[in-house]
Amino acid sequence: MNIQELFSKVKELGLSPGEYVLFDSAPMGIRGLRDCHDVDILVTQDEWDKYRDRAGWVVRVGPRGDDYLENGDLELWKNWAPGDWDVQKLIDEADVIDDLPFVRLNSVMEWKKLNAREKDLKDVEIIANFLKTENK
C-alpha cells in the first residue's frame, strides 16, 4: 500500500478534528523523506475511548508497556514514549498538510534522538538536512 492510500485510510476513519495528530514516520512520509508502511496516530483520551470498542480495533501492548489500538496498518496511541509529550500541545501545534495534522518535524527529530535506534538516528540526519534547506 502506498503512502497516499495510507493517508486516505486515516481520513476515512473520521477522527475528530483537534483530537489527533500523525506521528513517527508519517510527518517524514508526507514530505517524501522516507517510506511509511503504517501510520501511528496520537489521539486524545476521548478519541481513544471512542475507537477502543469499535469493530476491527485490537488492543495491543507497545514495547514500553503502553496500550495502543491497531487496525491493520493504522495504530492509535493515547501517549507517546520515550519522553514526556503533551498530547494536546502536539495536536494544537500540528502542521496541516493535505487536510491531515502532522507532528512538527522538530518534535519528530527530538523523539527520534530520544529513541536513538540506528534507523532513528538516520532519520534525525534526514530531518536536520531537510530543515536546513527549508529554512534557507
Question: How much is the pLDDT for 51?
Answer: 94
- Strand order of the β-sheet with 58-61 is 58-61, 67-71, 74-77, 39-43, 20-23, 100-102, 95-97
Share of the chain above pLDDT 70, in %: 99
Per-domain residue ranges of the chain: 3-104
Say whether pTM exceeds 0.75: yes
Between 2 and 98, residue with greater pLDDT = 98
Question: How much is the pLDDT for 83?
Answer: 83
Each residue's pLDDT tens digit, 14-50: 999 999 999 999 999 999 999 999 999 999 999 999 9
Mean pLDDT, all residues of the chain: 93
Helix pair angle (118-134, 105-115), 10° resolution:
150
Question: How much is the pLDDT for 81?
Answer: 85
